[in-house]
Amino acid sequence: MALNIKQLRKEFPILNQTVNGRQLIYFDNAATTHKPKSVVDRLTEYYYNENSNIHRGAHYLSQKATEAYEDARKTVASFINAPHQHEIIFTRGTTEAINLVASSFGKKFIRPGDEVIISALEHHSNIVPWQIACEERDATLKVIPINEKGELILEEYQKMLNEKTRLVAITHVSNSLGTVNPVKEMIEAAHSKDIPVLIDGAQAIPHMKVDVQELNCDFYCFSGHKMYGPMGVGVLYGKEEWLEKMPPYQGGGEMIKEVTFEKTTYNELPFKFEAGTPNVGDVLGMEAAVKFISYLRHENIAAHEKELLNYALDKLGKFEKIRFVGNAGHRTSVVSFLFEDIHPYDTGTILDKLGIAVRTGHHCAQPVMDFFNIPGTVRASLAVYNTKEEIDTLVEALEKVREMFA
């Protein structure tokens, strides 16, 4: 079913504004997406009618909020087809989810001389936590290299897996290039050597159906704000067997069973990993975002975004001296490019003046830029509410950029 984008855009009031006297065009969706009314309304509803601290109060509001919060966990679990609700840990976002695993898993399982494998496509948030963990544990970080198209070199990955490998942490989709990694295959390869795998799904979840049982990943992390939900909330899915074995990440309320000054016993999953008062409102907002995506259906979103991507590649490909960075066979709706004779910062500044929001720079993935030996790119990342007309406007704006600089 083709989506009615014109109708859909009405759900996003923020899109209806002018920037520097021009209609806003928002192509920075890989940084964060906008939020539909249903998400904003859910937040309002919570703070107007349900706000209360959860899991302890015996009063009406607390019970209502607790129920809503645990229902949201159920919704998220079924969204990614997690076998158990208690395998869903709410976090501040993908970054915190990865840090949680790096810290807790690291403490328990990473030993001196061990290795952790990441890839050259990672966002800094799936690099730095592992650097910290490896430094603390005297372990080594290994990096799967990429080819000129911006795809992982799988033969190299296969060679890296060995008895010292303690964990593989890779991104599902590259934030800077849009490359979709063959994670299922990579997980199978790691599992054949009993190595668990963490997937950074921040850039995948808004664009494709994710089934954690089908992938058979051990951990899957994603953020609310990149999937039409609120900022400050995210999810760590972890297999029960791992989460049970891992020590708590933070101490505080909610995560305990009994506390004495001599000894504290920890609560069961998922509460063991949710210290302190949770971000109930944003969790409910995230649930609304899940419902929004489920209502549109991932296959419809993907079909529309693919059409936009092909249209954009075709139109932009006509420019002289344009260089696309990342040409993976399997990719999401991200176009990373630069003009060979114009600095991406200059391009971005003029696009901004023309009301077009793109990202310029290294996109928190400096190693990727170093590989291609470029100062950065202009990244247009498309979402379900973008249109071909907007791409036409981008093309006109880029013509202006070339006039000014070339």
Partner 1 sequence: MKIKEKEEEIISEFEMFDDWMDKYNYIIEIGKSLPGLDEENKQEKYLIKGCQARVWLVPEFKNGEVVFSADSDALITKGIVALLIRVLSRQPPEDIVNADLEFIDRIGLKEHLSQTRSNGLLNMIKQMKLYALAFKAKQQK
Q: Give the residue numbers marked as catalytic.
A: 364
For residues 354 and 13, give the distance between their C-alpha atoms in angstroms, rounded to a whole number: 20
CB of 379 to partner 1, least distance (A): 13
- With contacts defined by CB under 8 A, name the span among 102-110, 200-208, 295-303, 398-406 that binds partner 1: 398-406
CB neighbours of residue 11 within 10 Å: 17
For residues 26 and 30, give the distance between their C-alpha atoms in angstroms, rounded to a whole number: 11
Cβ atoms of 328 and 406 within 8 Å: the answer is no
Report the residue from 92, 361, 371, 402 that binds partner 1 according to the rule CB under 8 A. 361
The identity of residue 191, as a single letter, is H
Beta bridge partners of 91: 234
Length, in residues, of the chain: 406
Question: How many CA atoms does the CB half-sphere of 162 hold within 13 Å?
Answer: 9
* Between 207 and 225, CB nearer to partner 1: 225
For residues 88 and 306, give the distance between their C-alpha atoms in angstroms, rounded to a whole number: 30
For residues 198 and 236, give the distance between their C-alpha atoms in angstroms, rounded to a whole number: 10
Query: What values do phi and psi take at 318, rounded to 5?
Result: -80, -15
For residues 286 and 35, give the distance between their C-alpha atoms in angstroms, rounded to a whole number: 10
* Between 388 and 400, CB nearer to partner 1: 400
* Between 319 and 345, CB nearer to partner 1: 345
Report the residue from 74, 268, 295, 404 that binds partner 1 according to the rule CB under 8 A. 404
CB of 66 to partner 1, least distance (A): 39
* Between 311 and 345, CB nearer to partner 1: 345
In Å, how far from its chain's centre is CA 84?
22
- β-strands 22-23, 18-19: how paired? antiparallel
For residues 30 and 33, give the distance between their C-alpha atoms in angstroms, rounded to a whole number: 7
CB of 342 to partner 1, least distance (A): 8
Nearest to 294 by CA among 117, 78, 131: 78
Three-class SS of residue 288? helix
* Between 247 and 375, CB nearer to partner 1: 375
Cβ atoms of 394 and 27 within 8 Å: the answer is yes
* Between 259 and 406, CB nearer to partner 1: 406
Residues numbered 299 to 358 that lie near partner 1 (CB under 8 A) are 342-343, 345-346, 349-350, 353
Question: How many CA atoms does the CB half-sphere of 222 hold within 13 Å?
Answer: 31
CA 32 to each of CA 136, 225, 231: distance values in angstroms, whole numbers, following the listed order = 32, 6, 8
* Between 331 and 379, CB nearer to partner 1: 379
Task: Compose the 190-219 pattern: x for residues touching partner 1 by CB under 8 A, - for all others.
Answer: ------------------------------
CB of 380 to partner 1, least distance (A): 17
Nearest to 116 by CA among 95, 144, 145, 151: 144
Report the residue from 360, 377, 381, 386 that binds partner 1 according to the rule CB under 8 A. 360
CB of 289 to partner 1, least distance (A): 25
* Between 262 and 403, CB nearer to partner 1: 403
CB of 400 to partner 1, least distance (A): 8
Residues numbered 18 to 57 that lie near partner 1 (CB under 8 A) are 20
Cβ atoms of 376 and 360 within 8 Å: the answer is yes
CB of 348 to partner 1, least distance (A): 8
Three-class SS of residue 168? strand
Report the residue from 376, 378, 379, 383 that binds partner 1 according to the rule CB under 8 A. 376
CB of 361 to partner 1, least distance (A): 5
Contacts with partner 1, residue ranges (CB under 8 A): 20, 342-343, 345-346, 349-350, 353, 360-361, 375-376, 400, 404-405
